Amino acid sequence: MRNSTQPQFQNHAPDDGTLARAESMRILMRWMETGEFPDRMLGGIPPFRRPFAMDLTYTAVRRCRALDWVLELFMRHRPENAATQAALLLGAAQILEMPSVAPHAAVSATVEALKLVAGSGAQTGLVNAVLRNLLREPARVASRLASATLAVRSSHTDEQTERWTKRFGTERARALLEWDDTPACVTLLPLPGRTTAAELLRTLTEAGVGATPHPGRPDEAVCIPHGSHVDSLPGFADGLFTIQDPATLEAVRLLEVRPGMRVLDACAAPGGKTAGIAARMECRGELFAMDCWRDRLGPLRKNLERLRFDSFVEVGVGDAKRCRAGDFRGAHGAGGPLFDRILADVPCSNTGVQRRRADARWRFDPARLASLAETQAAILENLATGLLKPGGRIVYSTCSIEPEENEEIVEAFLARHSGRFELKAKTALVPPDFSCDGAFAAAIERKA
């Protein structure tokens, strides 16, 4: 007979919470080692674990500078082991930034996840001790954060914090930094002609989804709780809505497409703006969706298929800096004419969407900004001068709030082509205005 006073050990399969933490830990390790995009590493996680793993990953990446600042209180040296670093960051993120996670789970399940990831090399004793100290000494943690600079407290780079403070002033910059650190809700945009924001809200509410009108654009968008399973929502399979911020509507609005036009979306993936254009064209005319990265065409096609636009939109790979009008064959098989409308939603620094793209702030630097500006100028130059018909309109857009990528690109283009092109309208959104992401769009017409 076993002695009941002795501890009994059983092997239990890890639960989904532990497995999600392990998945997130592996992503954090790869991100720290290679700089890969965390959002692209989430695709292999099962859908029922993905929302929690995504929340864990984005919170840890977003707040890593502030978390590292606090963790230094409880360690003499930063551990060299990547798994240990990731476990500490992940545990601190749950304890300090995710109040919905029970404190005991933040420690115990993170330690268990570390065992799954690192095996016999797991430094579980160190991770357990440091995380428990975080829980025991909240006053010390608060004092440590209070002593930090604004850049550290808001978990941004010094360069970005100083740039925004100089440009917007201290209070506006602080509001922008705080916005970046606020997890984004999931935002649904109803497709024109299929439903409205009010109808979508009613449908979701009747299904028991905690949906609310968008706080800044209640007539245009609906918010659902962070971490929701979007693909199980009513209307998802029927293609009633896209998943994107209302700020993305600005570029599509300025494009002013109509049924029967010949239109190019030159940097189209993942396809949210493409869908908005197709809906406004009522699937009449010709719409080409192009992207320079072949691996991004799969998600683009999948989105268009869900939204029932796959038979209307012609999808292909192409470089917006070098493509020519003859590259687009069109309905009749031959090289087509010039375009009535072109959307150039160019690659950018993503400084307007840093709350959604948690790693973007760590990739920001002046050299990269200058390199991006060269690419952006080349795309606008090629598309506007080589593919746009006289009297046609091109919309240049970014999800950046940096003038080097926005106003300066457009102004330089118009100066080079004085008398040939004309600025018709532009818009610039800076968070937290309208509770929207940051975005820039400029409508340029080629004179007839």
Contact indicator for 281, 255 with CB cutoff of 8 Å? no
**At residue 260, does pLDDT exceed 50?**
yes
Q: Dig out the tokens for 84 from the structure.
A: 């240990």
Distance CA 250, CA 242 (A): 15
Residue whose tokens read 């933040």 = 106
**At residue 164, does pLDDT exceed 70?**
yes
DSSP H/E element including 445: strand 439-446
Distance from the Cα of residue 99 to its chain's centroid: 23
Q: What is the DSSP string of 216-280?
A: S-TTT-EEE-TT--GGGSTTTTTT-EEE--GGGHHHHHHH---TT-EEEETT-TT-HHHHHHHHH
Lowest-pLDDT range of 9-18, 126-135, 422-431: 9-18
Percent of the chain residues topping a pLDDT of 70? 96
Quickly state the pLDDT bin for 78 (edges 50, 70, 90).
confident
Q: Which domains does the chain have, with CATH numbers?
A: 16-148 (1.10.940.10), 155-181 (no CATH), 186-243 (3.30.70.1170), 246-446 (3.40.50.150)
Mean pLDDT, rounded, for 165-177: 97
Distance CA 157, CA 150 (A): 10
pLDDT score of 10:
42
Q: What's the N-to-C CA distance of the chain in angstroms? A: 96
Mean pLDDT, rounded, for 147-156: 97
**At residue 302, does pLDDT exceed 70?**
yes
Distance CA 84, CA 96 (A): 18
Beta strands in 333-438 (DSSP E): 339-345, 388-398, 421-429
Distance CA 327, CA 342 (A): 15
Distance CA 270, CA 291 (A): 9
Q: Coil, strand or helix: which one is 77?
A: coil
Q: Which residues pair with 223 in a beta bridge?
A: 187, 212
**At residue 94, does pLDDT exceed 90?**
yes
Mean pLDDT, rounded, for 246-259: 97
Mean pLDDT, rounded, for 104-119: 96
**At residue 5, does pLDDT exceed 50?**
no
249-263 burial, b for 16+ CB within 10 Å, e for fewer? bbbbbbbbbeeebbb
Distance CA 143, CA 365 (A): 30
Q: Dig out the tokens for 253 from the structure.
A: 């609005």
Q: What is the pLDDT of residues 396-447, one digit of tens each?
A: 999 999 999 999 999 999 999 999 999 999 999 999 999 999 999 999 999 9
Residues making up the chain, counted from first to last: 448
Catalytic residues: 399
Quickly state the pLDDT bin for 120 (edges 50, 70, 90).
confident
**At residue 11, does pLDDT exceed 60?**
no
Contact indicator for 423, 415 with CB cutoff of 8 Å? no
**At residue 49, does pLDDT exceed 70?**
yes
